[in-house]
Chain A
Amino acid sequence: MADKLTINVWSDSQEERSVVRSMLSILSANTGDEWHFTDSPSADLLLLGSSSIEPQSAAGTAHVVARFLNAGDPPPGGDTLTLTRPLRAMPFLDMLNEAARRLRALPAVQAFSPTIDPTLLNQFQPQLTFAQCMRDVRASGMLRPFALVGADGAELALVNLARAAVSSISGVGELHTQLKTNFVRFEPRTVRDWEQAVVQDTPQSLDVLCWRTGSSLADWNGLVPWLSKNEGYRMIGWPDFGSIGTDSVGIKLSALLVKRSLTPLQLSAASTVSFSQVVSFLNSASLCGLLASAPPAQARVATRLAPAPERLSMIGRLRQKLGL
């Protein structure tokens, strides 16, 4: 049976992308499968046209990676598929068929169901099932699209981790409300499923959903079960407050935690932000995949680190002037 497969090209050259796209439209019918061009980084096949991108950097997003080579270039290590410039029909067809063969040989993408102890859940905490699935998916390194499926089998939304986006008919605000009353599991979907969904529904930021969920879990439950107030944490990247919305407290906490590892209590003391706000921030950062465990720096937490007085004064006045 023919599979619906997707190919993306990462290249500095728009012409090269166009050539691949055109050739694919002509030759796809001559393969045993149905190939489609996509801009998604989680395509089934990713063709690297730039020598500055290593195949490993695409691992976890695309299932199969191929590299363009110039005539005379040494072949890359491992079993990376290659395609020599200039692009010709037969080698391109052979590469597509080999990629399809490798894709079919891959193990099926797993589904994710929450493994939370049911006794930890109460009527207010179904959204913990979303949180745990999200955490497990991120831990797996799997960046394929997933469907959020409710206990009754209804599909609530599609999630595309590679693009950090969510697609739902109701929008992120309503979806967040739905997750408060729906126990969910994640079921794998294809890139084609995602692309068909976003034709109808404009995708929205997954970080927004994760941020809101982390925050509302803090209201009911304190820290999510996999975080501890005695463990040290460090940010591995800043939240995208451009998408999530400006959050002065979040900015302050991010700036501190990206520089050093602190326990929740230490972070509260160092930032002079209330512990409940710290809990909300840590929950949200964890769901966005931005938090890593790390031993806390014991010596530097007792006091707030003070900038030079002159600069502190200027920064304070600048904040006041700009209304920050």
Chain B
Amino acid sequence: MTVGQEYKIIVTGTMGAGKTTAISAISDVTVVSTEAANSDQAAYAKASTTVALDYGEIQLDGGDRVRLYGTPGQQRFSFMWGILAKGALGLILLIDNSSPTPLDDLGRFLVAFNELAQSGAVVVGITHRDVSEGPTMAQYHEVLSSRGLGLPVFSVDGRERDHILLMVDALLSSIEAFE
């Protein structure tokens, strides 16, 4: 029996940005989630949040699989980010535009996932732009260009499968263009 190749895409970002929902939108399997009661209501008011990781996968012809890992969004779980990112094909980064400091959040994640960002295998989705004024898209581009990064940045709704597919499409195109 031939064992297929395995690839890995990481979905990360701020708490409440929609990481679990994004993985659910494209996973072939029911997403395995490690949700627990949210003890950080001050940071984001929702009942539960991911505390270890979310897991989904896409099964390809030939037995290959693309594993989808969602990281916990809270800073105190940042020690896991590097572990999960090791060997990853690419990264989908979701930033909640309605958070108090979304530009700083973006900068923080770019530092944490610097290796992937420098390789161009990162796509940034800005969520909740419809519910808050927040920074403009130009300001997000400035954060990227100040680090010499030309990554795709899109306004997205994490609940919309089309928007998740848009990010995956851009991620794959970026990987192809960088090869």
Q: Do A and B bind each other?
A: yes
A interface with B by C-beta (< 8 Å): 12, 14, 39-41, 52, 57, 162-164, 235-238, 240-243, 246, 248, 251-252, 254-256, 258-259, 305-308, 310-312, 314-315, 317-324
Bitwise interface map of B from 128 to 165 toward A, beta carbon under 8 Å scored 1, else 0:
00000101111101101100001111111000001101
Residues of B within 8 A of A52 (CB): 104
Q: How far is the CB of B91 from chain A (nearest CB, A)?
A: 15
Tell me, rounded to whole Å, the shortest Cβ–Cβ distance linking B61 to chain A: 5
Sort chain B's interface into a size bin: 35 or more
Which chain B residues in 155-179 approach chain A with CB under 8 Å? 155-156, 162-163, 165-166, 168-170, 172-179
- Whether A305 contacts B150 by the Cβ 8 Å rule is no
A310 and B5: CB pair below 8 A? yes
Can you name 24 A-B residue pairings with CB atoms under 8 Å? A12-B101, A41-B139, A162-B138, A238-B151, A238-B152, A238-B153, A241-B170, A242-B126, A242-B155, A242-B156, A246-B166, A246-B169, A248-B169, A251-B170, A255-B170, A255-B173, A255-B177, A307-B175, A312-B176, A314-B7, A315-B175, A317-B64, A319-B172, A322-B165
Q: With A and B bound together, what is the CA distance between A136 and B85 in angstroms?
A: 43
CA distance A324 to B166 in the complex (A): 8
User: What are the residues of chain B within 8 A of A315 when measuring CB–CB?
Assistant: 172, 175-176
A321 contact set on B, CB distance < 8 A: 58-61
Query: Quick one: given A237-B153, A314-B7, are A256 and B170 in contact (CB under 8 Å)?
Result: no
Contact B64 A254 (CB under 8 A): no
CB distance from B2 to the nearest CB of A (A): 14
Extra A-B contacts (12), CB below 8 Å, given A14-B100, A242-B155, A258-B177: A41-B136, A164-B138, A235-B150, A237-B141, A241-B154, A241-B166, A242-B126, A243-B155, A246-B166, A305-B179, A307-B176, A321-B61
A259 to B118, CA, bound (A): 12
Are A259 and B153 closer than 8 Å at their CB atoms?
A: no
Choose among A12, A240, A320 the residue that contacts B100 (Cβ–Cβ < 8 A). A12
Q: Are B141 and A308 in contact (CB under 8 A)?
A: no
A310 and B60 CA atoms in complex are apart in Å by 13
CB contact list, B109-141 vs A, under 8 A: 120, 125-126, 133, 135-139, 141
Contact indicator B150/A259 (Cβ below 8 Å): yes
A10 to chain B, nearest CB (A): 9
Whether the Cβ atoms of A238 and B170 lie closer than 8 Å is: yes
In the bound complex, residues from chain B placing their C-beta under 8 Å from that of A306 are 179
> Which B residue sits closest to A289, measured CB to CB?
B138
* Chain A residue with the shortest CB-CB distance to B151: A238
* A225 shortest CB reach to chain B, Å: 25
Q: Within the assembled complex, what's the spacing in Å between the Cα atoms of A236 and B152? A: 11
In the complex, chain A residues whose CB is within 8 Å of the CB of B156: 242
- A318, B150: Cβ atoms under 8 Å? no
Question: Is the CB of B26 closer than 8 A to any CB of chain A?
Answer: yes
B51 interfacial contact with A, CB 8 Å: no
| Nearest opposing residue in chain A for B135, CB measure | A41
Complex CA–CA separation, A318 to B61 (angstroms): 9
Chain B residues within 8 Å of A320, by CB: 61
